[in-house]
Amino acid sequence: MYVWRLTSGSDDLSKARHKELLVAEQLRSDMLVDEIIEISDDAREDYIKKVDHEGNEIEVLNKEAVMRARLKVDTRKWIAGKQYKRRYGDSQSVEMSGPEGTPIQFAGIDRPAPLDYEAWKAVVVSEGRRSESDEDTEAE
């Protein structure tokens, strides 16, 4: 996201600044998540009082305030996911391994022997996908 350029050329200083940047991005993302919780928990403007046609005062859902809060939450979730993908990002990964993290062993799988070109050509022609004349025109 950011590129740090140093005039001193010290790699240790560059690594230290990089770590500081990562920590700052994590803290900023955590702050956004805290704001999401505050916005979600705040229900002060969710209902408004209105007077119905009989003159009675009733509480009605304030759809505008609810939708605005939802937009605020979604925006902060998106920003936090972009800033700190490891914790708040939407990406998923699947890792497959054998017992104790070893590679998966494929045993007992019968794989057909690879076909040479002539055998492949005979199969293709016999299935009607190509004719002998098609191959002659491609060779030219």
Tell me the per-residue pLDDT of 23-69, one tens digit each, with 9 for 90 and over.
888 899 899 999 999 999 998 989 999 998 888 999 999 999 999 99
**Residue 16 in 3-state DSSP?**
helix
Q: Is the dihedral of CA 22, 23, 26, 28 positive or negative?
A: negative
Question: What is the total count of domains within the chain?
Answer: 1
Q: Is residue 63 part of a domain?
A: yes
How far apart, in whole angstroms, are the C-alpha atoms of residue 113 and residue 123? 14
Tell me the per-residue pLDDT of 72-110, one tens digit each, with 9 for 90 and over.
999 999 998 888 887 888 777 777 777 887 887 777 666
Supply the DSSP symbol for 101: G
Q: Is residue 33 part of a domain?
A: yes
Residue 46 φ then ψ, to 5°: -70, -30
Q: Is residue 5 part of a domain?
A: no
User: Whole domain around residue 59: which residue ranges?
Assistant: 11-88
Cβ neighbours of residue 84 under 8 Å, at least 6 residues apart?
25, 26, 28, 29
Q: Which residue is it, tokens 């590679």? A: 103
Joined tokens for residue 104: 């998966």
Beta bridge pairs of residue 47: 61
Q: Is residue 117 part of a domain?
A: no
Q: Is residue 109 part of a domain?
A: no
Residue 77 φ then ψ, to 5°: -65, -40
pLDDT band at 1; cut points 50, 70, 90: very low
